[in-house]
Structure formats: C-alpha cells, structure tokens
C-alpha cells in the first residue's frame, strides 16, 4: 500500500485524500480499512463464511484478535471495550447462527447508544435467498436494532462502507452498525480505494442550538425556585461531563442522573442527588417530582425513570436538550425541545451566563429540603449475621477507593452495585440498562480490561446472570485478561423473585436456580448448586467461596491483590429486596422505602 500521512483525532487515523492500495482480497481490504480506523482489537468467532476474514486478521500487525467462547460474549466484550473508552467496539461472527448469536449484543448496544461495528460473514451472493447452509437474512433481522446496516454486494464498495460505518457508529447519537459480507466479496481480488473522508448526504452528526434557543433556559433558571438537572448517558457519550459540572456550578442547580449517566457528575459533589428512577434515591425522585423547572439533557424519559408518565414532574416546565431529535415529545411532552450536541449546549450556556450577567437564583430553601430528603432516606440495609450483597459492595468500594471500573450482570446485584458503590468519573459503571441483558457482566468486564489494562475491573454479578456467559472465563484465562468477579449466590433469580414476593404472594414461578426441595443457603451449604469454585477452577482461574461475614473484607482484598482472574463467590440469603422501589404505574411520591412482605 502506498504510504500516506494520517491525522490522528480521538484515536482514529483519518487521511485527507483517497488512497489506492495494491491488489488484495476483499477480506484483506477489510482488515486494512479497520487498521486505518485505528482499530486495536476485534472480538471474533470464526466459521465457514468468515474464514477469509480471520485469515486476513492473522496477518495484521496492528489488530489483536480475541476469540470469545460464544458470539454473544464477543459482542458484549466489544460493548465493554466501547463503554470504557468511548472508542468503537468491533465484533465479528460467521453467517447464520454465528450472526444471530450477535443479535442480543447488537440490540443491547442500540438500546444504550453504544458505538459498535458488527462484521459478519455471509453466504456467497449466488446462494442468498435460497436457504443455503447457514444462511440468514441478517440485514433484515437487525434493521430494528441498528443505527445502520450494510450488505456488501460490490467489492469496490467495501473500503467506503467501513469508513462510513465507523463514522456513523461513533458520531451523533452513537449506536451499532452492521457490515454483512458475502464470501465471494471476501475472496475477490481488486485494488481497493480507501476514502480519505466521509460525506453522507443529509446526516447531521453534531447539531448546535442557537443562542436564541439557549438564552431562555438561563431566564427560566433565574426565575425558578425548585429547579433540577436530569442527565443521562448522552453526557458520557457526548464527552460533556466537564461542561455539565461547570454549568451546574455556575447555576447552583442540583443534579440527578439516570443509571446510564452514573459517573458523569461526581456523586460526592454537594449538588449531586445521585441517580433516580425505580430503585434510585428518594431525594432524586422527590426532587424531580416537586421541581418547577426540569432541565433534561442526554436522556430519553425511559419508563424506569418516569414511572407513570402523567405523574412525572407534573408541575415542572421541562427543557429537553438532546442530539437525537426523534426523542423529543416521544415519551413525555415538553415545552422547550432543543436539538443540540450536549457538550456544545452546556459549554455555550456557561459562556452566555458569564457574558450576560446571569443572576443565580436563591435556592437555599430548596437545598435545605433536598438535604432533608437525603438525610432521611439514604440507601440503607439492616445488617445481620450473614453476608449481605450491600455490605460486600460497600467494602469493595472502600478497598478500591472508588477507582475500579465496575461492570454488572442484570438483577438485584446490578441495582445494589449502583446504590452502594459511589462513582465519581465517567465510564466507570458499565451495565446493560436499556435491554437489561443477563450474562452481560463477565464479557463486558473482559472488554473493559482489554481497553484499560492498568485499571482494576470488577464484575459484580449474580448466580443466574453469571451462568449465562460463564464460558468466557476461558477467554479471560487463555488471553491473560485478569478480571475480578464478585458473585452473589442466592440460588434464585433475585429480581424476579422480589416481584413474586410483592405481587404474587411469594409463589415461585421457576425462579429457584437450585433444588426447589432443598434450597442452598448460608446455613445449608451442602445444597448449593452448582459448585462454582470447581467450575471456575476448571477454566484455570482462581476461586474462593466465602460464607462468614468476618471473612468478607479479607477475601475481597485477596481477590483484588491476585494477579489473575479471580471469582469470589459470596453465599448470601435470598430474602433481601432492592429498596427503594417505585412499582410500575406508580409515581415517585409512592416510592416504597421498606419491604411490605
């Protein structure tokens, strides 16, 4: 390939001019295009329709290819990599079942607005539509859960498609893009032309609000008595955490986040109400409910946030700033919808406030009320003689100094992780939130550790969720990617069980993971099933089971100090409920702060 001088921006190398490469196969052109996008790692599982792609990757001196043990695991590794860095994660699978096994991870990235490029092999073009071996219409199947899709039918289009895919995935509102490549396209030899730039007609990746749109916000704040900033994952994906903090400090507004926004505003900050919603802080939920001005930024009024929409912030004037215009008026009607890049909007608001003599409102009475709610209703639990998940997470926070990257599975442990581990920086809490996919935690931790090898990465998981992708321990061991796992074993699908307790008189509908006739508990260890320590050790990783509270802190310290992958199984009771909780169809004012069963 001819040499050219690239310009490096946000870890992606761009070239000012188109460049023609020497003759090569389509698969080799794909890898060359990935290298030009600054791709460092691909999580890829091979098969018949993607063999050419893997053969080309073998010869790359710039890209590390990591073999997951399940395609979904590879997709979640790419997701974890993207969440930890802000770069685009890349995963790859073969056609048919290989591709369909990626769908859950693609949908997960779509729901949480994560930049992901999923590359799949496809059968030869002449077999498409003929029910060939391992053929699926992956393009059609994924249309509802991608930002864009490509089926490459012409080899000459391949370099341009790769360039566009990465641009689309990580600009504007991020999301997954798929590139489906028939085997004949992979095998054809041609002279690829690598484009130096992208021009997608009609695509506005970074809209900017006008001063005329932004200035009224400052006027509304000056007149408000009970304002609140409600921020979401868009702050993190938009790299706007510094601008958010500056704007909050200029205006004095209290800040509450969604779970996707956790870490975007330091939870130790005096203006932080932490996160709100179904299992969030009472203070955050009450503040939003009682607000007279609600400024929503980079969030989408998800049902786990709003509860009953008609009772959400019923007396507030609502401003909604978002990069995705389709989110405006979709779930909650607002008075001031503003289409803008959030980093620009907050930065410009701060400039306008300084330039126009902003009169900061007197929020002393409101602040006193917020402080009272915080003090009366902190996240809490009642200690007993057993290890409780909440206490384990508190100790993990203390032993890591709040500096770990935390991933989670999905369930009760996920909510406790967000409640009892305090986050003060972006990209330190990685969890499946829009789709709520069990099995996410371990592979996401592996992806995050690949991205951030010098940081401690801990997966806080439950026995049900952990089992769904436990095979990725093999990836961790073989690839020497040392992650830590705190495994809360309560022998139940805890969150579903909690709903059973609250709504179905405790009737168990297939939520017991062990033997329903002899349930394993901290007092009945012989009935625990499966034997996680033996399972983990069979993958070559370190494991320990802890039952006694007095052993907890020492075991967590041992786990953190170990230089390889370590799974710490904590045997916990199944009687704990995640509180507070807003039940579906209820408002924030009807939040439960103690168990009613």
One-character DSSP codes across 412-470: HHHHHHHHHS---STT-EE---SS--TT-HHHHHHHHHHH-TTS-EEEEEEHHHHHTTT
Distances (CA, A) of 287 to 246, 284, 348, 373: 21, 5, 26, 9
260 catalytic residue (yes or no): no
Task: Look at residue 3 in the predicted model and tell me its pLDDT.
Answer: 36
Task: Compute the average pLDDT of residues 1-5.
Answer: 38
429 catalytic residue (yes or no): no
Q: What is the pLDDT of residues 241-298, one digit of tens each?
A: 999 999 999 999 999 999 999 999 999 999 999 999 999 999 999 999 999 999 999 9
Task: Compute the average pLDDT of residues 530-538.
Answer: 98
Q: What is the pLDDT of residues 350-404, one digit of tens each?
A: 999 999 999 999 999 999 999 999 999 999 999 999 999 999 999 999 999 999 9
Q: Say whether pLDDT at 29 is over 80.
A: yes
At 14, is the pLDDT very low, low, confident or very high (cuts 50, 70, 90)?
Answer: low
Q: 7-194 with 389-579: one CATH topology?
A: yes
Q: Say whether pLDDT at 342 is over 90.
A: yes
Per-position DSSP letters for 550-593, written without gaps between them: GGHHHHHHHHHH-SS-EEEEEE--S-----SB--TT--GGG-B-
At 11, is the pLDDT very low, low, confident or very high (cuts 50, 70, 90)?
Answer: very low
Q: Name the catalytic one among 183, 343, 484, 542.
A: 183
133 catalytic residue (yes or no): yes
134 catalytic residue (yes or no): yes
183 catalytic residue (yes or no): yes
At 597, is the pLDDT very low, low, confident or very high (cuts 50, 70, 90)?
Answer: low
Report the candidate in 388, 145, 187, 412 with the shortest Cα–Cα distance to residue 279: 412
Q: Name the catalytic one among 111, 415, 488, 495.
A: 495
Burial profile 117-131: b = 16 or more Cβ within 10 angstroms, e = fewer: bbbbbbbbeebbeee
The CATH architecture assigned to 7-194 reads 3-Layer(aba) Sandwich (3.40)
Task: Compute the average pLDDT of residues 189-204.
Answer: 92
pTM to 2 decimals?
0.95
Q: What is the pLDDT of residues 32-70, one digit of tens each?
A: 999 999 999 999 999 999 999 999 999 999 999 999 999
Q: Say whether pLDDT at 75 is over 50.
A: yes
The CATH architecture assigned to 211-376 reads 3-Layer(aba) Sandwich (3.40)
Domain spans, the chain: 7-194, 211-376, 389-579
Residue whose tokens read 């938009």: 238
Instruction: Pick the more confident residue, 16 or 460.
Output: 460
Task: Look at residue 30 in the predicted model and tell me its pLDDT.
Answer: 98
Task: Look at residue 168 in the predicted model and tell me its pLDDT.
Answer: 97
Task: Compute the average pLDDT of residues 420-438.
Answer: 97
Q: Name the catalytic one among 133, 204, 330, 365.
A: 133
d(CA 136, CA 345): 43
- CATH number of the 389-579 domain: 3.40.50.970
Task: Look at residue 221 in the predicted model and tell me its pLDDT.
Answer: 98
Q: Name the catalytic one among 72, 122, 134, 374.
A: 134
């Amino acid at each position: 390939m001819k040499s050219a001088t690239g310009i490096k921006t946000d870890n992606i190398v761009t070239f000012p001019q188109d460049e023609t490469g020497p003759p090569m196969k389509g698969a080799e052109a794909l890898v060359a295009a990935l290298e030009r996008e600054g791709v460092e790692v691909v999580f890829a599982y091979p098969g018949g329709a993607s063999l050419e792609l893997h053969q080309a990757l073998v010869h790359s001196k710039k890209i590390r290819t990591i073999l997951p043990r399940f395609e979904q695991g590879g997709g979640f590794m790419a997701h974890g990599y993207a969440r930890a860095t802000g770069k685009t994660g890349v995963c790859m699978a073969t056609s048919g079942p290989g591709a369909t096994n990626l769908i859950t991870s693609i949908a997960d990235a779509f729901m949480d607005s994560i930049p992901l490029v999923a590359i799949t092999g496809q059968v030869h073009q002449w077999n498409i539509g003929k029910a060939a071996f391992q053929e699926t219409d992956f393009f059609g199947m994924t249309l509802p859960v991608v930002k864009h899709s490509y089926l490459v039918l012409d080899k000459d289009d391949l370099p341009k498609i790769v360039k566009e895919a990465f641009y689309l995935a990580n600009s504007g509102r991020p999301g997954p893009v798929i590139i489906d490549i028939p085997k004949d396209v992979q095998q054809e030899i041609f002279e690829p032309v690598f484009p130096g730039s992208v021009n997608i007609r009609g695509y506005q990746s970074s809209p900017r609000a006008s001063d005329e749109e932004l200035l009224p916000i400052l006027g509304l704040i000056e007149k408000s008595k009970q304002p609140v900033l409600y921020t979401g994952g868009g702050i993190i994906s938009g790299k706007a955490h510094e601008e958010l903090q500056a704007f909050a400090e200029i205006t004095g507004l209290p800040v509450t986040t969604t779970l996707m926004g956790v870490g975007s505003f330091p939870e130790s900050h005096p203006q932080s109400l932490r996160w709100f919603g179904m299992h969030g802080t009472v203070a955050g939920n009450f503040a939003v409910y009682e607000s007279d001005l609600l400024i929503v930024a980079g969030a989408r009024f998800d049902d786990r946030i709003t509860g009953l929409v008609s009772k959400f912030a019923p007396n507030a004037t609502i401003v909604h700033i978002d990069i995705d215009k389709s989110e405006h008026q979709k779930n909650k009607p607002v008075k001031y919808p503003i289409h803008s890049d959030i980093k620009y909007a907050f930065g410009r608001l701060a400039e306008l406030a300084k330039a126009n003599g902003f009169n900061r409102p007197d929020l002393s009475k409101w602040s006193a009320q917020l402080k009272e709610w915080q003090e009366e209703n902190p996240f809490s639990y009642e200690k007993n003689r057993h290890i409780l998940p909440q206490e384990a997470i508190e100790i993990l926070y203390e032993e890591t100094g709040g500096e770990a990257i935390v991933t989670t599975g999905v369930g009760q442990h996920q909510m406790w992780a967000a409640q009892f581990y305090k986050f003060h920086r972006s990209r330190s809490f990685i969890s499946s939130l829009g789709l709520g996919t069990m099995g996410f935690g371990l592979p996401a931790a592996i992806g995050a550790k690949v991205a951030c090898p010098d940081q401690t990465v801990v997966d806080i998981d439950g026995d049900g969720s952990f089992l769904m992708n436990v095979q990725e321990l093999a990836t961790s061991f073989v690839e020497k990617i040392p992650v830590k796992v705190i495994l809360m074993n309560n022998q139940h699908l805890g969150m579903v069980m909690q709903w059973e307790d609250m709504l179905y008189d405790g009737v168990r509908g297939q939520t017991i993971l062990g033997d329903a006739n002899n349930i394993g508990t901290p007092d009945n260890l012989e009935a625990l099933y499966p034997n996680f320590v033996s399972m983990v050790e069979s993958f070559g990783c370190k494991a320990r089971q802890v039952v006694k509270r007095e052993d907890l802190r020492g075991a967590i310290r041992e786990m953190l100090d170990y230089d390889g992958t370590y799974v710490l199984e904590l045997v916990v009771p199944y009687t704990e409920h995640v509180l507070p909780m807003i039940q579906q169809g209820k408002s924030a004012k009807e939040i439960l702060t103690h168990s009613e069963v």
